[in-house]
Structure 1
């Protein structure tokens, strides 16, 4: 448990979500609206309309895990996306910036050397 890291795939739901939903309702939303498999290992990110609450849903060995964070002040800043669909993939660092309250609009990423992961 508590095993989110950069090796996982993160999928952001672009439409505001009623976050009174629990495990089963969010799994249904992943299947029907996003066309993804909730048990496929991806981490699904949902944000409410006012962007004050976020939920992350993912499957771990043995069961589903749901992380829930509500801000007492401020709003989550969503990453800029270039997708016309209902969801899009985001990077681990984008999720961390969202949760930590770092504005993605004013932040620029400097070019860094990155070794591509080996594929078998």
Structure 2
């Protein structure tokens, strides 16, 4: 089960991304394109081109985690 702090902001990317990217690549994409850094306490949700899968990137205090 995922537990999230109440102060966690969740952002959803509306454009599909290349799902071959890892956590670091998606975090860099979020920072450059969306202007939100997952290492600053936000979660960013990305979707695949067919919109049948999602990846969530969030900083857990010790490193980036991709769900």
TM-score exceeds 0.5: yes
What's the counterpart of residue 61 of structure 1?
61
Note the C-alpha offset of 1:3.
2.5
What's the counterpart of residue 10 of structure 1?
10
In the comparison of the two structures, how many residue pairs are matched? 66
| Structure 2 residues without counterparts, runs of 5 or longer | none
> 1:69-108 counterparts in 2 under 5 A?
none
> Post-superposition, which runs of at least 4 consecutive aligned residues in structure 1 deviate over 2 A?
1-5
Note the C-alpha offset of 1:4.
3.1
Structure 1: how far apart are the matches of 2:60 and 2:54? 19
User: Are the aligned partners of 1:16 and 1:49 in contact in 2 as well (CA < 8 Å)?
Assistant: yes
Query: Structure 2-normalised TM-score?
Result: 0.86
Structure 2: how far apart are the matches of 1:28 and 1:61? 17
Indicate the structure whose relative CO is greater, using CA pairs within 8 Å and at least 6 residues apart. Answer: 2
Query: Structure 1-normalised TM-score?
Result: 0.51
More helix by share: 2
| Structure 1 residues without counterparts, runs of 5 or longer | 68-120
